[in-house]
A and B are shown apart, each in its own frame.
Chain A
């Protein structure tokens, strides 16, 4: 079997293992390990590489941002910032039609600004907002659907773990990627709110209403949000202003949220232990996939499949837009069953070389930023598409009385809004690139 064929065969084998419920990181690690052995015809290369690969991957300076952002999210929850955000959004928006659900989305967006992970955002805001939504008479479908979708804002609004991984794989500037994701992230939040507005008009029985809060209450609620605002401005502002690198910014954010949690008495020894435990399980999960992907992608490069595939696609002479459409559709389909990080790690080494040789009328760097944001959105859609959508599971597990099918149904309108947004961003790259062009 030629090396190229070995590379091609690795996909069905990998997918079979994944569908047999072998952990995704483990499956990639094993296929990569044995694949490298086959391609090089010797155990020496892969065994030698494993001597330094684990340490080099886990000590990577850019990747060290990941556990720091996760710790920051844990501290933010401990410090009661999620409650404060929801409370503030609710007093301002709650009296409108579907207003409490919109408030939940708004609070998710706020939390996403200080949290780098979708699951953490969904889990945190779910705990805070789900009981309230049910109390105001929101249907199970809408309540769980809007929170699952809102959770994706954790990644869509920078800082974002998935963008960090993309930046490393595609050798792009993390700061510019964060900038590029900013406007699309805000559009996502607005799109979700619009979706809710349409939803409650089409299904009037699905939402209750809250009495209008007085302006006194509204402004009081804002006061409790100031730590979130300060930390967001400090971290994101500090990164853009050049006080520190993105990784250092994550450390500053973790320190800031940790202090707030400490002051709010959310961080006794027990709370600290729980924050570390939560960080540990997520970090272990992410880095094991990253390691597996490093081994697997090394194997793919040895097989020369990515280069050949890129040359082939470029040689076909198909319209670049068709190729882009095919890739984005690919992500949507895979997103039904795979998680976002695995998809990025698995596919960017293959798709990015393909896209890089296509001409979209953009400079190479802008194309990479634009493509990154598009991919970010379509992989995040995977978190709320049935049958496997991690956010759906997380939120649904908090609402024992809501059948999973209802949650699936409740999330679909938001999937629709995601697809429309992707179409708009594909058609108008300037929406994504405007901020980068303005500030650089």
Chain B
């Protein structure tokens, strides 16, 4: 059968990065083959079609392109309910947390994504602290450190730990870190690879137990009209490649590359610090304040923050148990 539909996919990372290479490309191949070649996807990496990364979500909403993949945290304040997953010490693995996140959105937060057709909502694996100099071995070491913050929520968390959160654009991170304009970054292992963080710092700090410090949330979404315009059988192909199970694959792609990121740091001879249970408990104690603040903020918006946090926890727990 002849090709019927061409979909343009736009996103901000180069094609060899984890999600483009290990999640989006396989997704494209599946959709193209399951549609019998009737769907063709043109992949435009690295913001080739123009605009800044925060504009990606609107590009899907407004129909600039048909498909986008982006970080929800690029537009702080726009997806408040999704932030429950960005709170400290929620994330376990990317795979489990992603599955939980997609289900959670289906249950509570679809109103935040009503103007697009979500395909996958996912998270990355546990975020760590990558810090210059002596590194972070206890909570006290955080005092006065300038840490580039990945999300609005993490900015509050870093402040609570005594650090100074810096809201710096990603491209400025490697040179700022190499020169000490900032002391460190909070990112998962996977993101240390493209930014070459292992060459810029000597220590990486993670935590005991199953929960990582923080995570970021992502969406892979389709323009509503593009989806609605598909014939029923092609809609089915998209549907078959959407939802929590697919989200788990996206999260797993990140987990897999996290392993590589850690290996690179080990090979570079860097010190990987895992704070012991007592120390981790101290951080978690402080971080409770961030969660409480967030719940209060949500209550101010008429959102039941406490319920959302509890529900998010239970869903993550459900998939992390095995």
Contact = CB atoms under 8 A, between A and B. Distances in A.
The reply, when asked whether chain A contacts chain B directly with Cβ atoms under 8 A, is yes
Interface of A: 42, 44-45, 48-49, 51-53, 56-57, 60-62, 171, 173-175, 240-245, 248, 294-295, 297-298, 301-302, 304
Contacts of B180: 242
Most chain-B CB neighbours within 10 Å: which of A51, A243, A302?
A302
Given A61-B169, A244-B181, A245-B175, A48 B59 contact: yes
B172 A45 contact: no
Contacts of B176: 242, 245
A2 to B, nearest CB: 13
A295 B49 CA distance: 9
B205 to A, nearest CB: 22
B64 A45 contact: yes
B52 A56 contact: yes
A61 B55 contact: no
Given A53-B50, A244-B181, A42 B63 contact: yes
A44 B63 contact: yes
B158 interface: no
Interface string B124-140: 00000000000000000
A53 B56 CA distance: 11
Interface in B165-179: 169, 171-172, 174-176, 178-179
Most chain-A CB neighbours within 10 Å: which of B59, B62, B64?
B64
A44 B46 contact: no
29 contacts: A42-B63, A44-B63, A44-B64, A45-B62, A45-B64, A48-B59, A49-B59, A51-B62, A52-B51, A52-B54, A52-B55, A52-B58, A56-B52, A60-B52, A62-B169, A62-B172, A171-B171, A173-B175, A174-B175, A242-B176, A244-B181, A245-B172, A245-B175, A245-B176, A248-B181, A298-B50, A298-B51, A301-B44, A301-B50
B179 A241 contact: yes
B50 A294 contact: yes
B49 A301 contact: yes
A260 B8 CA distance: 53
Contacts of B221: none
B34 to A, nearest CB: 24
Contact of B64 (A48, A56, A248, A297): A48
A53 B55 contact: yes
B48 interface: yes
Interface string B239-266: 0000000000000000000000000000
A242 B133 CA distance: 15
Nearest to A59: B52
A52 B51 CA distance: 7
Given A45-B63, A48-B64, A52-B55, A171 B50 contact: no
A44 B60 CA distance: 11
Given A56-B52, A242-B180, A242-B181, A48 B63 contact: yes
Nearest to B14: A171
B312 interface: no
Nearest to A44: B63
A49 B181 contact: no
Given A298-B49, A301-B49, A302-B49, 12 more contacts: A42-B63, A44-B62, A44-B63, A45-B62, A49-B62, A52-B52, A61-B169, A62-B171, A62-B172, A294-B50, A301-B44, A304-B42
Nearest to A244: B181
B174 A173 contact: yes
A56 B51 CA distance: 7
Nearest to B64: A45
Contacts of B181: 242-245, 248
A295 B175 contact: no
A297 B50 contact: yes
A242 B179 contact: yes
Nearest to B50: A298
B67 interface: no
A369 to B, nearest CB: 14
Interface string B286-321: 000000000000000000000000000000000000
Interface string B149-186: 00000000000000000000101101110111100000
A174 B175 CA distance: 9
Contacts of A174: 175
A349 B172 CA distance: 21
A390 B252 CA distance: 56
Most chain-A CB neighbours within 10 Å: which of B46, B50, B52?
B50
In the A-B complex, the 10 residue pairs with the closest CB atoms: A242-B179, A298-B50, A48-B62, A56-B52, A45-B64, A301-B48, A52-B55, A44-B63, A242-B180, A48-B64
